[in-house]
Amino acid sequence: MVRKKIIQKYKELYEEGKDRENSLGQYSDFFSNFFENISLRELIGWMVKEKSKIKVLDVGCGDAGFLNDLKKQFGEKVFTSGIDLIDFTGTDEKIIGDALNAEWPKEFDLIVSFRTLHEIGNSEKILTKALDSLKKNGMAVLSFRMQEFVNGQLDFLGEMKQGDARFLQQIGERAYFKKAQIESVESFKKEKGIKFLNGVTLIMEKTG
């Protein structure tokens, strides 16, 4: 039921030409909000230089603008794959469906997700799927929006719940995630005198 509403919401937004377009530049800007030492462009450029071909997955890829930009910039050196509820074009591989239940392809060098994961929820299952789909030494950059004031009320966004906040803040202690090196950046906001967790972005490198 919730998914049907989300599909309807995005179908309507996209038909109006809203909120769909994304690009390597836009994702690089999101990334630079959290990680100052390296840019997303540099990270991908470095991966492409190190390996002859890399596989990249975008979860909730929208119109696949980011993936299509990668293809323009790096050509056959990048294999592009996207997952979204709504159809898109231009990638080497696509999975149309619910990222929570769909089977994700495997052996990725890089998995990204921006502005999407709060709509999906169940962060533990999503991060388990991401870890399982990375190749050894592959990296995932996953951004979760968490809480905002909506109509004067502080609330979790989309499908996010208190349990997700707890899980994301304690992920380093979970046995399954010991086979990854995880850097987590939490962003906090203060409104109406209340400080709250606005988002969590993780860089997860598969080590085991």
Under 8 Å between Cβ of 168 and 125: no
Q: Does the protein bind ligand SAM through residue 69 (CB under 6 A)?
A: no
**Residue span 152-181 as binding mask against ligand SAM, x where in contact by CB under 6 A, dash where not:** ------------------------------
For residues 80 and 116, which CB has a smaller minimum distance to ligand SAM in the complex? 116
**Distance (Å, whole) CA 180 – CA 47:** 18
Kindly determine how many residues on this chain lie close enough to bind ligand SAM according to the rule CB under 6 A.
Answer: 20
**Distance (Å, whole) CA 87 – CA 69:** 18
For residues 108 and 114, which CB has a smaller minimum distance to ligand SAM in the complex? 114
Q: What angle do CA 144, 150, 154 make, to 5 degrees?
A: 75
Q: Does the protein bind ligand SAM through residue 62 (CB under 6 A)?
A: yes
Alpha helices in 51-154 (DSSP H): 65-74, 117-120, 123-133
Q: Does the protein bind ligand SAM through residue 19 (CB under 6 A)?
A: yes
Under 8 Å between Cβ of 197 and 147: yes
Q: Does the protein bind ligand SAM through residue 87 (CB under 6 A)?
A: no
Nearest to 80 by CA among 94, 92, 88, 96: 92
For residues 12 and 183, which CB has a smaller minimum distance to ligand SAM in the complex? 12
Can you give the binding site for ligand SAM, defined by CB under 6 A? 3, 6, 10, 19, 22, 60-62, 83-86, 98-100, 114-116, 119-120
